[in-house]
Structure 1
């Protein structure tokens, strides 16, 4: 149950923070791999980025990558908090009837690494989708992922 509850809670927060992630990702990519002054600045600050993305890409542009972001949050936080709860209920963090700080930290580290490793591929897809924009405000490399509306697997190719 901890898997589901922690995943759902993280998804609720993700609905509100995803627009911030879109703006952050686009601002980070601005001027990627270019010398200062050799690229066009599309986003002067956070407020200008929100305005520009909303104006050019529409309000839906501020929620780009929402589906993989929700999947990522559900899986990563569900695995992380759920696996820690399993370790805790199995008395793996207890020594002589007390909580062992060393075992507790080790259990948290294992749970965190497990969640990050499992969620990492979805985070990559989320970031690629968030960086996609119309040509007039495009920054960085545009991967042009296609989201399929049918229940067929989506094949994503990455090149160097």
Structure 2
């Protein structure tokens, strides 16, 4: 139950943070693999990027990749917080008096975080692919043509195998 509660709470925040992720991802890709001054600047800052994307692709395009973004939040935080709570419930991070032991707590958080990131990594990759998709006149970087999360996962698995589902 802790997995579900933690995941649902994170999904709520995902609705508000996804547009910022779209802007960040597009701005990061701008000029990737080009020398400074050797590429077209589509996005000067976050306000300009918001305006440009909404103008060329529509306001709702600021929520590109929303479905996988919410799944990432659900999986990552559900696993991370669920594992931590499970370890705490079993007394594995507590001392004999019931107090939290700092280094055990940090270790439990790390284990949960790593497990959560591994679990959500394939969906995170597809989320990034979907967020970078732009209209032809403002597109930056390589444009994947996934129509959705399930198709993106299928294409990546078929073309590249499981070994390429990792993300930075």
Please give the TM-score of this superposition, normalised by the length of structure 1.
0.92
> Alpha-carbon deviations, 1:35-85, whole Å to 9, x = none?
111111000111000000001110121000000000010011000001100
Runs of 4+ in 1 over 6 A off after TM superposition: none
Counterpart CA distance in 2 for 1:113 and 1:139 is: 30
Counterpart CA distance in 1 for 2:41 and 2:92 is: 53
Counterpart CA distance in 2 for 1:78 and 1:88 is: 15
Change (3 A) 1:145 1:92: same
Does 2:125 align with 1:124? Answer: yes
Counterpart CA distance in 2 for 1:74 and 1:154 is: 17
**What does 1:98-109 correspond to in 2, within 5 Å?**
98-109=99-110
Structure 2, unpaired ranges of 5+: none
Per the TM alignment, residue 112 of structure 1 is displaced from its structure 2 partner at its CA by 0.9
**What does 1:10-159 correspond to in 2, within 5 Å?**
10-97=10-97, 98-147=99-148, 155-157=154-156
Please give the TM-score of this superposition, normalised by the length of structure 2.
0.88
**Contact 2:122–2:153 (Cα < 8 Å) also in 1:** no
| RMSD between aligned residues | 2.0
Per the TM alignment, residue 102 of structure 1 is displaced from its structure 2 partner at its CA by 1.5
**Corresponding position of 1:2:** 2
**Contact 2:126–2:153 (Cα < 8 Å) also in 1:** no
Change (3 A) 1:111 1:154: closer
**Contact 2:72–2:123 (Cα < 8 Å) also in 1:** yes
Count of aligned pairs: 158
Change (3 A) 1:120 1:153: closer
1 or 2, which has the higher helix percentage?
Answer: 2
Structure 1, unpaired ranges of 5+: none
